[in-house]
Amino acid sequence: MGECAWATTLIGGKGYLKGIVTLQYVLQHVVHSAYPLLVLHTSDITPSAIDLLKSIGCRLKTIKAIRPEGPIKYSQERFRDTWTKLVAWDQVEYDRLVLMDADMLPLRNMDALMTLPFPQHDWIAACPACTCNPQKMPNYPDDWTPSYCAYTYTDGGSAATDDQHTLDTKEYQTNFHHSTRHLHYFNSGLVVLNPNRTTFETMLDRLTTSSNACLNAYTFPDQDFLNEQFANRWTVLPYLFNALKAMAIGHASLWDTDKIYNLHYILTKPWEVSDITKEPPQYHPLYRLWTDAHHKALEHFGITVDLDGLVQK
């Protein structure tokens, strides 16, 4: 395997710069990854924000935002920017990228993902989505119920390694049982991929030629799109690599923070929480983990400026 990196996008939006600063700190100074963090950012990000990210060791690359033309109704406004994640496949100077959302917090070293073998080069690896909808979000699909969720049919799983750089391909699988028909839909917050321009151009062409009706049918735009693109061509990772915080409620018997490699703060972001007592109690220790890491990141890097004020021109 040649050059590899973690990758995330910065397209504006308050809070996400905080997420990237925290992500960089944890990857490099807590779990001690051997690989850099690549920040793919649009041209509307301020030079001050770019200079700050460079100063703390991130790699920066300017990219064009990907936004389909035509009127598209998004269930959440932030989903308007998630299409730009597709640009990761165009970073052909890298042999392997692990695309991560900025609202994630690694808890353990995940470098083994950089050398994880795929059945074929154009596959990806990802974790199944939890489709229980424990918080009863009204914009979620009607069939997102526990009986539809892959994690209802699992007794856990491990991410056994000989060392932090080698993932045992026989042991990392989550042990799903009774039914594999639910194992069909992944969460796109963490995607292990091999950049390929042909794949990128195929996706971009499909996106630009899709009807508005088709795109409006997506509840989670990039996630639904990628699930169609890589149907039956993705390696299943255990939830430990993309532990959706809602699973602490929906799958309490499965949840084990001590074994989790990477927390994913879907829905309300840690930097949006002003009163933790108004959040479900299962989330309180998870939010505190991120807040503690963020404060340590600011101290370590000597950051005293308001990060929200740096993001957009």
**Stretch 90-104: mean pLDDT:** 97
Q: Tell me whether strands 37-41 and 186-193 are parallel, antiparallel or unpaired.
A: unpaired
Assigned domain for 147 exists: no
Query: Of 262, 239, 230, 238, whose CA–CA distance to 103 is shortest?
Result: 262
pLDDT of residue 285: 97
* Whole-number Å distance between alpha carbons of 241 and 178: 23
Contact 249, 141 (CB under 8 A): no
The domain that holds 257 is classified in CATH as 3.90.550.10
pLDDT of residue 82: 81
DSSP state of 312: B
**Stretch 243-255: mean pLDDT:** 92
Asked whether residue 239 carries a pLDDT value surpassing 50, the answer given is yes
pLDDT of residue 228: 92
Instruction: Look at the chain and report how many structural domains it folds into.
Output: 1
Assigned domain for 48 exists: yes
Neighbouring residues of 122: CB distance < 8 A, sequence distance ≥ 6: 194, 196, 199, 233
Assigned domain for 154 exists: no
Split at pLDDT 50, 70, 90, the class of 144 is confident
Split at pLDDT 50, 70, 90, the class of 76 is low
**Stretch 3-20: mean pLDDT:** 90
**Stretch 64-70: mean pLDDT:** 83
**Stretch 203-232: mean pLDDT:** 83
Split at pLDDT 50, 70, 90, the class of 312 is low
Helix, strand, or coil (residue 212): helix
Of 72-76, 82-86, 238-242, 301-305, which gets the smallest average pLDDT? 72-76
- Specify whether the backbone of 67 is left (phi greater than 0), alpha (psi in -120 to 50) or beta: beta
Q: Which long-range contacts (CB under 8 A, 24 or more apart) does 211-218 make?
A: 212/68, 212/70, 212/71, 212/72, 215/68, 215/70, 215/72, 216/72, 216/73
Residue carrying the six token digits 């809602």: 246
Residue carrying the six token digits 């989790």: 260
pLDDT of residue 169: 42
Assigned domain for 169 exists: no
Split at pLDDT 50, 70, 90, the class of 167 is very low
Bigger pLDDT: 53 vs 310: 53
* Whole-number Å distance between alpha carbons of 219 and 76: 9
pLDDT of residue 179: 46
Split at pLDDT 50, 70, 90, the class of 150 is confident
pLDDT in tens, 265-288: 998 999 999 999 999 999 999 999
Assigned domain for 288 exists: yes
Contact 145, 256 (CB under 8 A): no
Neighbouring residues of 236: CB distance < 8 A, sequence distance ≥ 6: 125, 126, 127, 128, 173, 174, 176, 183, 186
Assigned domain for 166 exists: no
Asked whether residue 201 carries a pLDDT value surpassing 70, the answer given is yes
pLDDT of residue 212: 64
* Whole-number Å distance between alpha carbons of 215 and 256: 36
Domain containing 28 equals 4-115+187-219+238-310
Assigned domain for 128 exists: no
* Whole-number Å distance between alpha carbons of 245 and 187: 13
Backbone dihedral angles phi then psi of residue 192, each to the nearest 5 degrees: -90, 125
**Stretch 27-35: mean pLDDT:** 98
Asked whether residue 297 carries a pLDDT value surpassing 90, the answer given is yes
Assigned domain for 121 exists: no
